[in-house]
Amino acid sequence: MELKRVVVTGLGAITPLGNSLSITWEGLIGGKSGAGPITQFDASKFKTRFACEVRDFDPLQVIDRKEARKCDRYALLALSAAKDAIEDAGFDFEKEDLDRIGVIFASGIGGIKTFEEEINGYNEERGPRFNPFFIPKMISDIAAGHISMIYGFRGPNFATVSACASSTNAISDAFNYIRLGKADAIVTGGAEAAISVPGVGGFNAMNALSTRNDSPQTASRPFSASRDGFVLGEGGACLVLEELGHALARGATIYCEVVGSGMSADAYHLTASHPEGLGARLVMKNALEDAGMKPEEIDYINVHGTSTPVGDISEAKAIKEVFGEHAYQLNISSTKSMTGHLLGAAGALEAIACILAVKENIVPPTINHEEGDEDPEIDYKLNFTFNKAQKRIINAALSNTFGFGGHNASVIVKKFVG
């Protein structure tokens, strides 16, 4: 069976850097931090009192008030990103076979805010009076359901849940369904809204979050010795993947081609990556093999790079192992230094960063690195693109995401050649 070629024809995002993709990309290239004090609840008693929040978001620009009440914040962010991506793709719905358009949309945690509100509202004396929309607001698949219902997409429809790798897995599944001929186009990506009492409290209990409360905007500092944990972020990111022939037939604008994806497991620890990066090595090798590419054909890696003590070291080691001497010719950057960690939405946003880097031939930076703040276990001959975007020809880029539970996923995009 000959596999179909898969291209990207639509993009959308709502992030801590801005409520549109264009503003987000401008912030990424400009090295802007989206971090600030938490405003969604009183965090004064928490170890971490800051996050990367989406600000000034009006869901009524996306959905009417009645329907919005049926959605958790994470689903509303998903709908915002999806609306922009679908409009960007420019479908003429009168001419499309909606049975052949699907939605595969991820969330690592889902409606944690809804869960918190409903449990807090429970009263033993009053009895168990829960909102009838409690369960459908909370579950992680419901964003995919809402998108399909709004647009009438009747193709493959489900969610992927693999912690921080969730939306890269969603992209990988969408890529495979299309190249196997099971769909003409799939709306894919992820959304997360876990900046909440249980979200921050839970990650604090694990000592996973940075506690640099005196300087939130410099707290996410991947590959620096003084890193002390990730900065929690929220948002939504969406891609429209499409079979090449279908895209060309309707005259779609093509951003790039998706050429490979990989998956692996660390099989090591609940939350920590393997210290030698064994799973990270395997997932990148699998993605390269799937794409039929050699390591030296990759120009840029958007790394998982969460600013955690163990994770950054193991990923840098894995890159050196997989890419050998070519590792020193790569640009590497962690856009989480600016957006924070969007958990289940991180992979989709970082895939978009790779796509725009390929399109625009510019690498967004890893911000907040200071001279003298070097970790002896990290090789700084690698080009981490510290602090300033770098222009270069980027023909192909790889995005890494690694999730709690040892879930690893990578995707490769390259310039489209007709």
Where in the sequence numbering do the catalytic residues fall?
Answer: 164, 304, 341
One DSSP character per residue, 358-374 reads HHHTEEPPB----TT--
Kindly report the backbone phi and psi dihedral angles of residue 60, in degrees, each rounded to the nearest multiple of 5, phi listed first.
Answer: -70, -10
Spatial CB neighbours of 359, under 8 Å, sequence gap ≥ 6: 255, 256, 415
| 340 Cβ contact list (under 8 Å, min separation 6) | 16, 34, 35, 51, 52, 220, 230, 231, 232, 233, 234
Q: Is the dihedral of CA 250, 102, 151, 409 positive or negative?
A: negative
Buried b (16+ CB within 10 A) or exposed e, 273-312: bbeebbbbbbbbbbbbebbebebebbbbbbbbbbbbeebb
- Number of CB atoms found within 10 A of residue 11's CB: 25
Strands 300-302 and 396-403, how do they pair?
parallel
Maximum CA extent, the chain: 68
- List, edge to edge, every strand of the sheet that includes 300-302: 157-158, 101-106, 185-192, 235-243, 6-14, 256-265, 407-414, 396-403, 300-302, 331-333
Backbone angles phi, psi at 390, to 5 degrees: -130, 125
φ, ψ for residue 121, nearest 5 deg: -85, -5
Contact between 404 and 271 under an 8 Å Cβ cutoff? The reply is yes
